[in-house]
Structures are given as C-alpha cells and as structure tokens.
C-alpha cells in the first residue's frame, strides 16, 4: 500500500459526518496524560483529533499531524466545539521536520504506520522528544484478531509486539509495557475486545549518570 492509498482510505473514513472513533479521548491516553506535567505534546496520526483536542483542553500545547485533510477538518471542528485550539499539520510525517528535543511528550495512539516505515518513524519521533520526556503508546498487538467492529489492520506486519517496542525505544526507561485484551468503546470502528500493546516510556537523559 502506498502513502496515497493509505491517505485515501482515511479521507473516506473521516469524510463521514460522524466521528469514526468518537469524540472522547482514548482512556489509556487520558489516564497517563493526566499524570504528567503540562507542556508541549506531539500527536502523530491524530486523525479526527479526539486525543489531541483532549490534550489541548487539558492545557497542553498540541501539535497534531495526519495524512488526511478530512481528519484535520473534523479535529478543528471538535476543537471549536470545546473552545480550544491546536496546531494541526497535514502531510507525510516522514517529510516533516520539527526542532530536535522540542516536545515534552508524544502520544502514539493507534498510529499504525506503513510496515516498512514503522521503526524509521519511531526513531524520527524519538529525536523530537526532550530527554526525560514521555511517550504514551497504545496500538493493536500482533495477536489481535481484527474484525469490522473492533478494527485494526488485518496484516501482522502492521501490528506491534513488545519486542518491537523495546527495540525501537531502546533508550527509554520502561515505566509500563504489556500486552492486554481490552474492551474498546470508541465510536463505530473500535467497538469490542481487542488485543493491544500498551507502553509508557521515559526518554533517558544522556547527561545524567544514571541515564534518567
């Protein structure tokens, strides 16, 4: 699948008047974001903005990205409904450039990138996170059985394992990393039981002797 095909798929999904995954934030993201000191957060693959908008409402300075302009339209609509705003950039994440070590947190919530680009993009995102910054990650596991309601990619190459996360974020203190079967109630497309990988990582500080 090319980037253009992937973009077209999401444009079609987000063009609908309803919000594909609802307007409420992902519960895992909300729980762990609420525990952090507010600052700047990067939200790749933020789609219709339910997570980025929640962060903005909570007092974070938010930069969201996505391939889909239809997603941006919906995200700005949601932000207006909740009387907040966020910086939303449409385009290929691989070609975007942010200042190194410029974000306090990164939210990767069901950010299923093209398989050949997953690790490349994870390393790119790592460069944008400040030492001591936090990644909040939830996505479908390689053990997930996708169906029309629960959603998720049907090819395992798009999915994640704990070993993959450890490799891609090897310079992080792992605060939480586990595979779980969870009940999802997120709009039309995440509704039912899904097997997910959940990861909270704190980027090591190379200037501290303990690496933290």
Helix (H, G, I), strand (E, B) or coil at 106: strand
Mean pLDDT of 13-31: 95
> What is the tens place of the pLDDT at every residue in 111-136?
999 999 999 999 999 999 999 999 99
- What was the pLDDT predicted at 212? 57
> What is the tens place of the pLDDT at every residue in 168-186?
999 999 999 999 999 999 9
Chain centroid to CA 61: 16
Q: Say which range, 47-51, 148-152, 183-187, has the weakest mean pLDDT.
A: 148-152
* Band of residue 207 on the pLDDT scale cut at 50, 70, 90: low
How far lies 203's CA from each of 101, 106, 136, 166, 171, in Å?
A: 11, 11, 11, 12, 6
pTM of the complete model beyond 0.85: yes
Helix (H, G, I), strand (E, B) or coil at 89: strand
Domains of the chain: 3-203 (3.40.50.150)
* Band of residue 140 on the pLDDT scale cut at 50, 70, 90: very high
């Amino acid at each position: 699948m090319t980037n253009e095909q992937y973009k077209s798929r999401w444009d079609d999904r987000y063009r609908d008047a309803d919000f594909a995954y609802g307007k409420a934030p992902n519960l895992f993201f909300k729980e762990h974001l609420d525990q952090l000191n507010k600052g700047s957060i990067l939200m790749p693959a933020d789609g219709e903005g339910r997570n980025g908008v929640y962060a903005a409402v909570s007092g974070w300075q938010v930069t969201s990205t996505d391939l889909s302009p239809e997603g941006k339209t919906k995200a700005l609509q949601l932000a207006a409904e909740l009387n907040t705003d966020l910086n939303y950039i449409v385009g290929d994440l691989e070609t975007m450039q942010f200042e190194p070590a410029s974000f306090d947190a990164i939210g990767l919530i069901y950010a299923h990138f093209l398989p050949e680009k997953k690790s490349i993009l994870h390393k790119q995102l790592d460069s944008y996170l400040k030492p001591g910054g936090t990644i909040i990650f939830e996505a479908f596991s390689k053990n997930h059985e996708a169906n029309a309601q629960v959603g998720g990619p049907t090819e395992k190459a798009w999915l994640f394992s704990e070993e993959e996360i450890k490799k891609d974020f090897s310079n992080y203190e792992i605060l939480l990393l586990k595979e779980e079967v969870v009940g999802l109630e997120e709009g039309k497309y995440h509704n039912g039981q899904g097997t997910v990988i959940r990861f909270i990582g704190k980027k090591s500080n190379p200037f501290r002797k303990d690496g933290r």
